[in-house]
Amino acid sequence: MKHCLAVAACLLLLFATGCSTSHRVEVAPVEVKPIHITIDVNVRVDRALDDFFSDIDTAPAQPEATNAK
């Protein structure tokens, strides 16, 4: 019985040391670079064209010709 208890204690000690792990991780310094953002200017050009041609959009739908009766 004492022999069985000693074997169980040795096995428990082996399992306990097998479960304890330690890892060493080295982290390199992180380099932070500036971020360059490119904005699409199509919206600005589209609005400018809408403003430029707004008089065509507000023109009357009927023809202005005098001979079109």
Give pTM, 2 decimals. 0.28
pLDDT over threshold 70, residue 7: yes
Q: How would residue 39 be classed by pLDDT, with cut points 50, 70 and 90?
A: confident
Instruction: Choose between 24 and 41: higher pLDDT.
Output: 24
Q: What are phi and psi of 3, to 5 degrees?
A: -65, -40
